[in-house]
Amino acid sequence: MSAPRVRRAVAHFTFDGRRVPFEQGDTLGSALHRSGERVLSRSMKYHRPRGLYCCTGSCASCFVTVDGVPNAPACTTAAHDGAHVASQNRLGSARRDLLRIVDLAYPAGFDPHDAFTRPGVVNRLFVKAVRRMSGWGPAPRPGAEGGVGTRHEMHVDHLIIGGGREGLQRARDADGRVLLVEEQPRLGGSALLDPSEADTLALVEAAAGWDHVEVWTDTLAFGIYDGTVALRRGDDLWQLTADRITIAAGRHDGVPMFPGNDLPGILSLRGAKRLWYQHGVLPGERIIGHGAPLPARFVRDLEAAGATVVEQGQVTAAQGGTQVERVALGERRLRADTIICSLPGMPRIELFQQAGCELTWRGRLVPVLASDGATTVEGIHGALGGT
Amino acid sequence: MDKAFVCRCEDITQSDCVTAIRDGYDSFEDLKRFLGLATGPCQGKACVAVATALIAAERGIDAGDVDVMTYRPPVRPVPFGVLAARDEGEEA
């Protein structure tokens, strides 16, 4: 797994009119990164350049408009032939957005609570202008979005949310009929990105032979309402009840805090691993590790592929025009195009909280779990594993 | 010195948060309502840990004593066509 298998371009999409080749299994984000495009969107208020960070669809910094429908995460949206992809919220192009002037004109930040609030006529003009200059892309063209789906109801003995290592282990050991749902197209979770997780990959193989387990991939558990779990499968809504629900949804990546922490070229460790191990895209050429040391094997694999891990430590600032160019670690200044952040993640606590489970702070917010995984709500279990 | 962002969705900086906390918006829910923190498309996935630690540090309390915001469904944006799904055989 040190050298991702050789692939070849299968087709093209366009990004702001430019042809971008992609390969089997590419997302829009991985294909754009391979083609050298780091700036995928502009931020809502200051029009700062933004790009990939988490590569799991969670951080909202890589939203693009696809065939007229806004706000698709480039990092998890599969590339498809002939797609018209456009960057959002810019005047000009993603790389040269004239509205960046807002960021440059207000280096210390712009506080809308007391700017241009009086007199009323100025405020009305200001609000009108701001609404044109900020936001989240154009409204979809009528008919561009998918249709209205079908609603289904179902009851299972055991519903397991999350098809990573924890979810797979719970499914293997469960009694009764199990439904295992995973939002990604494949089971395995982070193990798909980690050559050292062979045992989890073996579970993925084995799962196909478990008669008591039904697996639904590409299925998002998006909410728990009064004990009923709402699932999205394509355009369809599934309302599930279960004797037992196990939430094994994994974690969100931690984000770094230093000036310039939002520049394109700054990636979470998992995001960088996804680019390399899943898509065969080198995250960058001159790389700095931030936070905990990067896994030695990942460093070796990146360097074998021609990248240089220049330095590892605690980044104190990142600078660059539209992407990382210079990085400060204390007094030291280094030239680099990429920062990979190895930071503690936060468990995905959304569903636990919606279900009414008690949460507590142990360095980050976690559900209160008994030794057998029981939460404080009957019938709901949790599995955090290595999160 | 360039900006450091706590919330990328709504472009809210560390200095915005510190100023607001010192002005008295020193619970997570107050900060959220005043600045719009955690109200963008990611709904707090990136910013909650950082902002909670920031509130705790400014107030000199444990992060565990900072209030927890309410995470409402959906956990990711979901098209209206899914929420409006019809029963089988149901007319439009």
Question: In tens digits, what is the pLDDT along chain A, a chain of 387 residues?
Answer: 444 555 667 899 999 999 999 999 999 999 999 999 999 999 988 999 999 999 999 988 999 999 988 999 999 999 999 999 999 888 777 888 878 888 888 888 878 787 777 788 888 887 787 777 777 888 887 777 778 999 999 999 999 999 999 999 999 999 899 999 999 999 999 888 887 889 999 999 999 999 999 999 999 999 999 889 999 999 999 999 999 999 999 999 999 999 999 999 999 999 999 999 999 999 999 999 999 999 999 999 999 999 999 999 999 999 999 999 999 999 999 999 999 999 999 899 999 999 999 999 888 889 999 999 999 999 999 998 764
Residues A259, B73: C-beta atoms closer than 8 Å: no
Per-residue pLDDT, A180: 98
Residue of B1, B5, B42 to mutate for A, most A C-beta atoms under 10 A: B5
Written as six digits, the tokens of A179 are 């439904």
Q: What is the DSSP letter of A74?
A: T
CA atoms within 13 A on the CB side of A94: 27
Per-residue pLDDT, A294: 97
Q: Which chain B residue has the Cα nearest residue A54?
A: B46
- How far apart CA B48 and CA A294 sit, in angstroms, is 24
Per-residue pLDDT, A6: 55
Residue B25 Cα, gap to closest chain A Cα (Å): 14
Residues B70, A136: C-beta atoms closer than 8 Å: no
- How far apart CA B3 and CA A105 sit, in angstroms, is 13
Per-residue pLDDT, A1: 44
Q: Which chain A residue has the Cα nearest residue B2?
A: A259
The answer to whether the Cα torsion of A85, A43, A340, A271 is positive or negative is: negative
* Residues from chain A contacting residue B79 (CB–CB below 8 Å): 145-146, 235
A 169-188 residues with CB < 8 A to B: none
From A250, A299, A252, select the one nearest A273 (Cα to Cα).
Answer: A299
Written as six digits, the tokens of A296 are 């030695």
Residues A222, B78: C-beta atoms closer than 8 Å: yes
Which pLDDT tens digit goes with each residue over A135-180? 788 888 777 777 899 999 999 999 999 999 999 999 999 989 999 9
Q: What backbone torsions phi and psi does residue A309 show, to the nearest 5 degrees?
A: -90, 100
Specify the pTM: 0.93
Residue A22 Cα, gap to closest chain B Cα (Å): 26
Residue of A56, A252, A268 to mutate for B, most B C-beta atoms under 10 A: A252
- How far apart CA B21 and CA B44 sit, in angstroms, is 18
Residues B72, A255: C-beta atoms closer than 8 Å: no
Residues A259, B1: C-beta atoms closer than 8 Å: yes
Residue A300 Cα, gap to closest chain B Cα (Å): 29
Residues B85, A150: C-beta atoms closer than 8 Å: yes
The CB-based long-range contact list for B55-64 (8 Å cut-off, 24+ gap) reads B55/B17, B55/B21, B55/B26, B55/B27, B55/B28, B55/B31, B58/B18, B58/B21, B58/B22, B58/B26, B59/B21, B59/B26, B62/A361, B63/A361, B64/A360, B64/A361
Residues A223, B79: C-beta atoms closer than 8 Å: no
Per-residue pLDDT, A7: 61
Q: What backbone torsions phi and psi does residue A299 show, to the nearest 5 degrees?
A: -60, -45
In DSSP terms, A150 is beta-bridged to B86
Residue B3 Cα, gap to closest chain A Cα (Å): 5
pLDDT < 50 regions, chain B: none
Q: Are A345 and A291 in contact (CB under 8 A)?
A: no
Q: Which helix (H) or strand (E) holds A168?
A: helix A165-173
Q: Which helix (H) or strand (E) holds A350?
A: helix A350-354
A 206-235 residues with CB < 8 A to B: 220-225, 230, 232, 235
In total, the C-beta contacts within 8 angstroms joining chain A to chain B are 153
Q: Read out DSSP for A223-251?
A: EEETTEEEEEETTEEEEEEEEEEEE---E
Per-residue pLDDT, A2: 45
Written as six digits, the tokens of B6 are 């706590």
